[in-house]
Amino acid sequence: MTVKDILGGAPLYIAVIIGLLFIILLAYLFFRKAYQRAIELGFEKALLRKVIKSSIIFTIIPSIAIVIALFSLASVLGIPWSWFRLSVVGSLAYELMAAEMSVTGAGYSSLGDFLQSGDVTALSTIMFVMSFSIIGGLIFNLIIGKKLHLSLQNYQEKNNEWGSLAMSYFMLGLAAVFLPLQVFEGPVFLATLLSSAFVAFIHLILIQKFKMTWLSEFVLANSLIIAMIASVFWDKLL
C-alpha cells in the first residue's frame, strides 16, 4: 500500500466523515442553545432570523478562499485529510508548513520527495504533527485568551494610537514567521509571494480610493487565485 492509497482510501474518508459529522452536531447544539438563550433574553424571532441569514451570507464569501486552499492542499495530501484539516482548525500555510517540517524531520528533503518515495512509515507522524501541534493555540486561548483580549481592549481604549499599533504587532509576528519560509525557498516562491502581495495592494487601493468596501471580502480569495496562476507562469519563466 502506497502513501497515495492511504491518503485517498475509503478508511480515511470514513474517519473524516465521522469526525465532521460530530463537529456539525456540536455546532448545531451550540447554535440551538444560543438561539434559545436569545429568545429568553427577549429578542424577536424575526430579528434572529435576519441575523442568521446575514451570517450565512457573510460566511460563504470568505469560505471561497478556504475552498481554493482545499484544492491546493488536496493535490499534495489527498482530498479527505485536506478536507478534514481545513474544515476543523487549520489554514493552508500552517498545514503545509507542519507537513514540510514533519518530513524534513523524518529525513526527506521536501514533502514532494516524501510523496515520491512511497514510504508510509512517516505518514502517521505527519498527521500527528498537523493535528496535535495546533492544539497548543487552542489551549492557550482557553486558559488566558479572554484575559489577554480584555487587557488589550482596555489598553486600546485608553491609548488609541498605541493600542492600534500593538494590535498590528500580532500580524507582523505572523509575517515574521511565514515570510522567510517563502523568501528563501527559491525565486519561484519569492515571485509568487510578491505577486500575491501586489494583488492585495491593488485591492487596498480600490477599497480606500474608490470606497469599494465590499471588495475586502474577496482580498484573500483573489490573492490566492491569481498567485496560483502566477506560480505556474513563474515556474516556467524562472
* Mean pLDDT along residues 21-37: 94
Residue 226 has pLDDT above 70, yes or no: yes
Instruction: Report, as an integer, the average pLDDT of 42-60.
Output: 84
pLDDT digits (tens, 9 = 90+) for 139-198: 888 888 888 878 877 877 777 777 677 767 777 777 777 778 777 878 988 898 899 899
Angle at 178 between CA 174 and CA 184, to 5 degrees: 150
- State mean pLDDT over 4-24: 91
C-beta separation of 12 from 80 below 8 A: yes
3-state secondary structure of 106: coil
Looking at residue 98, its pLDDT comes to: 81
Note the helical H segments in the chain. Answer: 3-7, 10-40, 45-77, 79-87, 92-105, 111-117, 123-132, 135-140, 146-158, 160-183, 187-209, 219-237
User: Within its chain, how far is the Cα of 208 from the centroid?
Assistant: 26
DSSP 78: -
- The tens digit of pLDDT for each residue in 75-126 reads 888 899 988 988 887 777 778 778 888 888 888 887 778 878 777 877 888 8
Percent of the chain at pLDDT above 70? Answer: 97
pLDDT given for residue 61 in this prediction: 65
Residue-level pLDDT at 206 = 92
Burial track 117-151 (b if 16+ CB lie within 10 A, e otherwise): beeeebbeebbebbbeebeeeeeeeeeeeeeeeee
**Per-residue pLDDT, 217:** 72
The pLDDT tens digits for 36-47 are 999 999 999 999
Q: In the prediction, which pLDDT does 31 show?
A: 93
One-letter amino acid at 1 equals M
pTM for the full predicted model: 0.67
**CA atoms of 108 and 32, how far apart (whole Å):** 47
pLDDT surpassing 80 at residue 32 = yes
Q: How far is CA 218 from the centre of its chain?
A: 15
Amino acid at position 15, single letter: A
AA letter at 108: Y
What is the rounded CA–CA span in Å between residue 18 and residue 21?
Answer: 5
